[in-house]
Amino acid sequence: MITIALDDENPALEIIKHFSNKCPQITLANTFTSINAAKRYLDKNHVDIVFLDINMPAMSGLDFVKILPQNIQVIFTTSYADYALDSYNLNAADYLLKPFSFLRFVTAVNKASNLVKLKNLPVIQPFICKVDYQNVMIDPLTISFIEAMDNYLKIYTEGKIWLVRMTLKEAVLNLPQPYFQRVHKSYIVNMARIERYDSKSIYILGHTIPYSSMYIDNAEDFFQAYL
């Protein structure tokens, strides 16, 4: 994955350079202290992921995201926690609060990389389900995970939860593979949305999701195939 970094402070860019050199899955192609310079670079070069500070001179990072091509994933890097909600509303891949650790950096890179891969798949058909006697089309890319509740499913998307009448088995058959995986008798997850995992649970947007050996034989191999 090709990345660039924007920050008006050189020490912050040096940290991103250092961490990027330790991540074999990404190549940091350039760094910028000016949004205008970064925009000129993006007009001529392919980039998959942008590390972006929010408080930039001339234009804020939040405004800059709005003019970026939609196929570029953004990881915000900032000293201010107040902008987290704004970043999610802009569909940012992740939000790194300075000072962030290398492990947290890798988590963000994995999330953004998986989203790039997901968006590069062939055209994905909408996920059609019935909500209140009406057929609703949900963009699968916006789904984080699905939870079974008796004869219904709770579909967690960006900023909304849908309650639909459907089984998990039906949902799996209608979601794009291999990125949607059943990990438990009650859960399907979008592998590109996983933030981290441990020996018992998966963590997505503040939710703790259990996984079962019935669906995952070898956890390390299973997760490394996607993350």
| Enclosing domain of residue 219 | 127-224
Domain boundary among 119, 146, 162: 119
Q: What is the pLDDT of residue 88?
A: 64
- Note the pLDDT of residue 61: 83
Q: What is the CATH number of the domain that holds 99?
A: 3.40.50.2300
- Which of 119, 148, 170 delimits the end of a domain? 119
User: What CATH number corresponds to the domain at position 203?
Assistant: 2.40.50.1020
Q: How many CB atoms lie within 10 A of CB 138?
A: 18
pLDDT tens across 188-199, in order?
A: 999 888 888 888
The encoded tokens of residue 153 equal 């499913």
* β-sheet bridge partners, residue 154: 147, 163
Identify the H or E element spanning 59: none
The DSSP 8-state label assigned to residue 160 in this structure reads E
Q: Summarize pLDDT for 135-176 with one digit per residue, the tens.
A: 888 888 889 999 998 888 999 987 789 999 888 888 888 888
- Closest alpha carbon to 72 in 176, 157, 2: 2
The secondary element (H helix, E strand) that includes residue 12 is helix 10-21
In a shared domain, residues 138 and 105: no
pLDDT beneath 50: ranges in the chain: none
The predicted pLDDT at position 50 comes to: 95
What per-residue confidence (pLDDT) applies to 49?
95
d(CA 63, CA 77): 15
pLDDT of amino acid 227: 59
The predicted model scores a pTM of 0.58
